[in-house]
Structure 1
Amino acid sequence: MEVVNYNGTSLAFIGDAWMSLKVRLYMLEKGFQKPGILQKKCSEWVCAGAQAKMLLELQEQGFFTEEEEAIIQRGRNASIRTFAKSADVMTYRHSTAFEAVIGYLYLFHKEARLAALWDEIRRIGETL
């Protein structure tokens, strides 16, 4: 299937799942095992505010390719009917855009880029 057949929210749906799983596995690898602590640590990375921060920092660094920036724009402009209670509209849109680019990289088997992005996510996440 071609990328044009996926809307921003569909890409974000998959990107959210991928990010959540990767962060959960990472926290387990770091030795966290109590459910309450795991939930708290993971939430610090997968909340809208953290994801928006990650996106904006990576954009400032020029991390994303032109094609990935187009996906980010698609995710940011996606028609979203509900918003997180803990984030303003722009933060939520940036978070959705970040999840969309992750979903795109995952669905289109861009493993090297996804691995590079994960390295950056971990780097930024450790500063949250």
Structure 2
Amino acid sequence: MKDKRLFAIRGATTSENTAESIRLAVEEMCREIFMLNSVKAQDIVSVQFTMTPDLDELNPAAALRKSDTGLDTSKIALFAMPELYIKGMPPKTIRVLVTTYLDCDAAVKPVYLNGAKSLRPEFALGN
């Protein structure tokens, strides 16, 4: 990993509570993170997901395995857990933390899509 260091890239999106909607939302979010940050599969340490309690039709890690993100994710460590419930939290939200090696001078680009743009408007795509 010469000239690389470890980075954590955040992202979030929203989804309807169907397996297909969750798969598509995870695919879009992860594809954007991987592409915008020039992530290579062999440099990823792990991908961690959380989901709000109102999403229960598909595990986001399983969704990533079923998705076409442009990277082979079959050998990447994936982990998913429920989001801690907080009164007033945004509904139907999937969050991700991608831990990966990137070039030392990389400028990490978080990805916030769909209804999750309100969580971090300064990082929302298109802003």
Structure 2 length normalisation: TM-score? Answer: 0.35
Question: Relative to total residues, which structure has the larger helix share, 1 or 2?
Answer: 1
Q: TM-score, normalised by structure 1?
A: 0.35
**Larger relative strand fraction:** 2
